[in-house]
Amino acid sequence: MVNQQTIVTRRRSASVAGERVFDFIVYAIAGLIMLIVLYPLLFVLSASFSDPVRVMNGDLWLLPVGFTLDAYKEIFRYDAVWTGYRNTLLYTGVGTIINVTMTTLAAYPLSRRDLPGRRILMFLITFTMFFNGGMIPTYLVVKNLHLVDTMWAMIVPTAIATYNLIVMRTYFQNSIPWELQEASMIDGCTNTRLLLHIILPLSKPIIAVMVLFYAVNQWNAFFNALIYLRDDALYPLQLVLREILIVSQSSYLDSSGSTFGMTEKLLLAESIKYGLIIIASIPVIMMYPFVQKHFVKGVMIGSIKE
Amino acid sequence: MENWRRAWKRALSRYDLYLMLLLPVAWYVVFQYGPMYGVQIAFRDYIPVKGITGSDWVGFDNFDRFFSSYYFGRLLWNTVSISLLSLLIAFPIPILLALLVTEIRSQRFKKLLQNITYMPHFISVVVIVGMLQLFLDPKSGFVNLILNAFGFESVPFMESEGWFKTILVGSNIWQNMGWASIIYIAALSGINPHLYEAAMVDGASRLRRLWHISLPGITPIMIIMLILDVGAFMNVGFEKILLMQNDLNRGASDVIQTFIYNNGILQGDFSYSAAVGLFNSAINFTLLVLINGYARRKAETSLW
């Protein structure tokens, strides 16, 4: 693009002014978009460190006003939040391992062009992306398997995401030379060995993408918890958040041994909500700068059509 | 006969591949095709102790009940209008954003814009709705504080039918425009640079190049994305709607999927809500087949 642009400016000096205006508009819109996206996020961050009275008076614009850590101190007392955090870590950890294993086990054989029945299997798998039994019949299956009110309800029904399976299969097909696989087969290598010792070491980028896609999904999952979990000892963080942020269950905010009085607590409730948003989003936001290029790669591979 | 035997031998020699497929295929059978088998309760009066096939067959009774229900018109209108609003407004914005990104000459600024706009995608729906409630609160939300500062009265945004769809679609755009633009940015970077050079030699302005080269260059991927969106036309991201729903905005926020949740999961009216769900998926699937066929004939781009 850049040298095309220089050619143009050399050739047509008359249009330079037009180019300038165009550039100006592009940068102005881009700046505005960044502002719109960033402002709410920064506001939450600042509000969580601010004096709730001043936030409610509208004193907060960008930087914290009346800096305080009270909200975070209070959050640290809530057992429900930490139980939720622990559950979410567990579901995300175990869930992601199962997700990636199952997806690999499906994607590799289906990437093999010498697999008899591959087309029909792919059709039956892809079909589920566009038609499925729906919420109620799925719920009944999970219920009849006695998974309701166990941690497995958060993991097993979402063990494979078909979209991810297709992305991984596309990677295996396009990025690993078929000749390599054939050569190993001729050398008498079994498929298990081939997968473990040749394919997987060559597939680190796609495995990273899968781990990230699935982990973020597990971390943010709330709907399955809402329909499958009754026991609040099993609640993942998102469900606890829902109770506090949206349903505004003040009972969750009732923790004995709090150092704050009733009115202070009502005020603090707002700051606590801001603080909770930060605490719940921190793992994802912190890893974001390091992993975002993997995510983007995942989307790109997904866009390759056969 | 000979062919069959050869196919069998071929399959047998790759038994370990099938072994790997065993668990995933079992999962698909149980958790994807199991519910498809179970969807027949839509035509039955399902009683859990009798089981699926043991329950009485009632034909289309559950569907009749839904079509003649007081809520049917409202549910259908809300679902369709939210979906149309998304297609008309939320669908084109990532395309415009992608075009904008590729027009930025400074690489660092471009990266910055991309990184910032991708970020909200990773925030959970629960947190997004929680943020909406905090920001739009009539007493303490900063949006209303700004309105007050300009002399306007507070608006109870989250408790209003009139604002519901705007807030829903608006926050969806805020969260997803960046992420959805990736695929278009990828497509734009794949356009042959010679096309642009030739256009420049002909004296085409940047805007004209955008219109005559960039846009046609990403039309196939636009069509694919449109087909996928239309195939989920009736789903309307209901998990977020469910979180935003309250008694005061129900007139605008009751969609088919939330109705299924309320009747099926909360009240245990399984057959009825399975029928409503089947109606929903049937419309989605029909729309998908129709638009895919149309796109294949008219634009020669399609999913299959």
Secondary structure of chain B: what % helix, strand, coil (to 5)?
A: 80, 0, 20
Tokens read off for B216: 């046609």
| Interface mutation vs chain B, best among A16, A136, A144, A156, most B CBs within 10 Å | A136
* pTM for this prediction: 0.89
Per-residue model confidence (pLDDT) at position A259 = 53
Under a CB-based contact definition with an 8 Å cutoff, are residues A222 and A242 in contact?
yes
Q: Report pLDDT for B74.
A: 94
pLDDT at B227: 92
Longest dimension (CA), chain A: 77
| CB atoms B264 and A136 under 8 Å | yes
pLDDT band at A204 (very low <50, low <70, confident <90, very high): confident
d(CA B259, CA B235): 12
Residue B274 burial (C-beta neighbours within 10 Å; 0-12, 13-18, 19+)? buried
Chain B residue closest to A25 (CA)? B100
Name every residue whose Cβ is closer than 8 Å to that of residue A31 and which is 6 or more positions away in sequence. none
Tell me the pLDDT tens digit for each residue of B90-137: 999 999 999 999 999 899 999 999 989 988 998 999 999 999 998 998
Q: What is the mean pLDDT of chain B?
A: 91
Tell me if ipTM is over 0.95: no
Percentage, residues of chain B above pLDDT 90: 65
List the domain boundaries for chain A. Answer: 2-69, 78-254
**Rounded distance between C-alpha atoms, residue A24 and residue B291, angstroms:** 39
Tell me the shortest Cα–Cα distance from A161 to chain B, in angstroms.
10
Q: Which of A53-67, B82-96, B106-120 has the lowest mean pLDDT?
A: A53-67
pLDDT of residue A296: 74
Is B1 or B146 the better-scoring residue by pLDDT? B146
CB contact residues (below 8 A), chain A span 15-74, against chain B: 15, 18-19, 22-23, 26-27, 29-30, 33-34, 36-38, 40-41, 43-44, 47, 55-56, 58, 60
Q: Please list every residue in chain B whose beta carbon sits closer than 8 Å to the beta carbon of residue A305.
A: 224
- pLDDT tens digits along A261-302: 666 667 788 888 899 999 998 888 777 777 777 777 777 776
Which chain B residues are Cβ-neighbours of A190 within 8 angstroms?
Answer: 16
- From chain B, the residues in CB contact with A43 under 8 A are 135, 142
Segment A216-256, tens digit of pLDDT: 999 999 999 999 999 989 999 999 999 888 887 544 455 44
CATH number of A78-254: 1.10.3720.10
* B275, pLDDT greater than 70: yes
What would the pLDDT profile of B223-238 be if each residue is shown by its tens digit?
999 999 999 888 888 9
Per-residue tokens: B159 = 């408790």
pLDDT of residue A303: 66
CB pair distance less than 8 Å for B196 and A219? no
H/E element, B45: strand B44-45
Span B173-208, pLDDT tens digits? 999 999 899 889 988 988 888 998 899 888 888 888
**Chain A from 149 to 188: CB within 8 A of any B CB:** 156-157, 159-160, 165
Hey, which residues 65-124 in chain A have their CB within 8 Å of chain B? 102-103, 105-106, 108-110, 112, 114-117, 121, 124
Per-residue confidence (pLDDT) for residue A262, from 0 to 100: 61
Confidence band for B13, pLDDT divided at 50, 70 and 90: confident
The CATH class, in words, for B61-298 is: mainly alpha
Q: Does residue A101 register a pLDDT over 60?
A: yes
